[in-house]
């Protein structure tokens, strides 16, 4: 039975940081509009948040972590439940994954855990209903489809089985040469028949669409059920005073050191992630950094998602080198370029073309009066990048290239920012 992609319903997000992001908006996605030919630009739409629930029951998805957002999207809950029932009834799937993101909350994605690989083949018995028959005889999308217990094994139609090439049929190969017990109701099967080229008997059966009805007693939640969320862009210089709601305070207190660290590293907008086991809800305390056994939270600069839009504006131009992220080009420089791999420079660093600083009076005096300065270099030494370890400035040769050519250049080491 070919699989129908199910992108319907989801998500269970906690009543955590999404409270301030949950209101539906006319502009459902955050469009990052960056200008300039910089390496740090972003051309695609960037979702404001994403929520996930992994390894939850398909028939009774645990969405309790995200009650805040789901109260504002009631259609999402119904959609998740509908999709979960479809996976259980049509594909014999017991454990599902749910995800949704800002801009498409009404059409979240629900997948069978066994299909997506989050539960390995060794745990298919947990991801699939086992009481309907043997699973794992199919591969990929349909790995949970059962082979009835009366069958020794099952097969998909071959090229010569013209009458059964529809994806609605499979062949049940029975264990004995004769006198086999037919596959009973509620399976819909043709009469038992002798096999054409081999000894034994078989019968053709249709796939069912009510598999959950006969999966009795398989309602134990997975011990590996988790929830997690991602907020794409939040100010790195966040304060804690207003973080009082359940879950919000715990996450904010946990990530505050990470936010402060990113702010000192010249990042203005941070990505916040959080999650934890479904078995430990509600969550109040969160460990900094990911964890598989307890609620956790973390934060990094949102440069990967937003490019130079994520960077601070007060320390110089950013986005000039993806390898250094929000590391700024000092305001004393007209432009910067990485020289870490250059044989001319030892260690990690960059070349800075210093801004012209010779005043108009000196330039005019050099051109028009005998009493003017002997050279522009002597009259106005360049201002060096403040707080950086730089080589002495060198006069630019201006023998090739294009653009502004005057003044000096220097090479500086990258610095670790500390406010």
Query: Is pLDDT of 22 > 50?
Result: no
Judge if 82 and 227 occupy the same domain.
yes
Whether residue 132 is contained in a domain is answered as no
pLDDT one-digit tens code per residue, 324-359: 889 999 999 999 998 887 645 567 899 999 988 778
Q: Return the pLDDT at 25.
A: 33
Residue 264 lies in a domain: yes
Whether residue 419 lies inside any domain: the answer is: no
**Tens-digit pLDDT profile for residues 204-220:** 999 999 999 999 889 99
Give yes or no: residues 295 and 225 share one domain: yes
Domain count, the chain: 3
Decide: 396 and 405 in contact? Cβ < 8 Å: yes
Q: For position 264, what pLDDT does the model report?
A: 93
- Report if residue 202 sits inside a domain: yes
Same domain, 253 and 296: yes
- Exposure string of 167-190, with b = 16+ CB inside 10 Å and e = fewer, is eebbbbbbeeeeebebbeeebebb
Task: Say what percent of the chain tops pLDDT 70.
Answer: 80
Residues 93 and 227 in one domain: yes
388 and 338 fall within a common domain: yes
Distances (CA, A) of 106 to 18, 50, 100, 361: 16, 13, 8, 66
Residue of 338, 336, 273, 268 lying closest to 303 (CA atoms): 268
The residue range of the domain holding 165 is: 146-206
- Same domain assignment for residues 118 and 21: yes
Judge whether 391 lies within some domain. Answer: yes
Residues 301 and 255 in one domain: yes
| Residue 181 sits in the same domain as residue 277 | no
Q: How confident is the model at residue 381 (pLDDT cuts 50, 70, 90)?
A: low
**Cα–Cα nearest to 152, from 178, 170, 174, 184:** 174
Higher pLDDT, 402 or 277: 277
Query: What's the pLDDT at 245?
Result: 65
d(CA 34, CA 226) in angstroms, rounded, equals: 36
Q: Considering the entire predicted model, what is its pTM? A: 0.78
Is 369 a domain residue? yes
Residue 323 within any structural domain of the chain = no
Q: Are residues 185 and 228 in the same domain?
A: no
In a shared domain, residues 119 and 224: yes
**Bridge partner list, 335:** 353
Q: Are residues 302 and 397 in the same domain?
A: no
Q: Are 110 and 230 found together in one domain?
A: yes
Of the candidates 206, 240, 275, which is a domain's last residue?
Answer: 206
pLDDT of residue 222: 92
Supply the pLDDT for residue 55: 95
In a domain, 97, yes or no: yes
Query: What would the mean pLDDT of 30-46 be, rounded to a whole number?
Result: 38
Task: Look at the block and give the residue holding tokens 């059409």.
Answer: 107
Which pLDDT score, from 0 to 100, does residue 44 have? Answer: 53
Q: What angle is formed at CA 64 by the lines to CA 59 and CA 70, rounded to 5 degrees?
A: 95
């Amino acid at each position: 039975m070919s699989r129908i992609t199910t992108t319907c319903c989801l998500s269970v997000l906690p009543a955590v940081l999404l409270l301030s992001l949950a209101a539906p908006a006319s502009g459902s996605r955050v469009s990052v509009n960056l200008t300039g030919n910089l390496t740090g630009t972003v051309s695609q739409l960037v979702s404001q948040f994403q929520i996930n629930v992994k390894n939850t029951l398909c028939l009774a998805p645990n969405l309790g972590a995200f009650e805040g957002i789901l109260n504002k999207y009631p259609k999402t809950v119904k959609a998740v439940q509908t999709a979960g029932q479809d996976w259980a009834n049509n594909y014999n799937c017991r454990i599902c994954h749910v995800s949704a993101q800002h801009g498409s909350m009404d059409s979240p994605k629900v997948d069978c855990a066994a299909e997506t690989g989050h539960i390995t083949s060794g745990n298919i018995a947990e991801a699939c209903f086992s009481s309907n028959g043997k699973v794992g005889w199919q591969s990929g999308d349909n790995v949970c489809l059962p082979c009835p217990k009366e069958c020794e094994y099952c097969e998909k139609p071959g090229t010569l089985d013209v009458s059964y090439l529809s994806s609605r049929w499979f062949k049940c190969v029975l264990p004995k040469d004769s006198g086999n017990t037919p596959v009973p109701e509620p399976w819909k099967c043709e009469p038992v028949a002798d096999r054409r080229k081999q000894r034994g008997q078989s019968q053709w059966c249709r796939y069912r669409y009510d598999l959950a009805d006969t999966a009795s007693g398989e309602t134990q939640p997975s011990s590996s059920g988790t929830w997690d969320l991602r907020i794409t862009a939040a100010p790195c210089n966040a304060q804690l005073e207003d973080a009082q709601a359940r879950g919000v305070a715990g996450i904010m207190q946990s990530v505050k050191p990470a936010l402060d660290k990113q702010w000192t590293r010249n990042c203005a907008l941070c990505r916040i992630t959080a999650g934890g086991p479904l078995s430990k809800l509600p969550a109040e305390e969160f460990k900094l950094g990911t964890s598989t056994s307890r609620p956790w939270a973390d934060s990094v600069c949102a440069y990967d998602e937003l490019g130079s839009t994520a960077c601070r504006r007060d320390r110089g131009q950013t986005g000039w080198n993806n390898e250094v992220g929000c590391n700024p080009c000092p305001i004393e420089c007209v432009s910067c370029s990485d020289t870490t791999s250059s044989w001319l420079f030892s260690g990690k660093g960059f070349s800075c073309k210093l801004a012209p600083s010779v005043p108009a009076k000196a330039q005019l005096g050099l051109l028009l009066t005998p009493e003017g300065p002997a050279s522009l270099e002597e009259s106005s030494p360049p201002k060096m990048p403040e707080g950086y370890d730089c080589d002495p400035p060198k006069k630019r040769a201006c023998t090739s290239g294009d653009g502004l050519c005057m003044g000096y250049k220097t090479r500086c080491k990258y610095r670790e920012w500390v406010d």
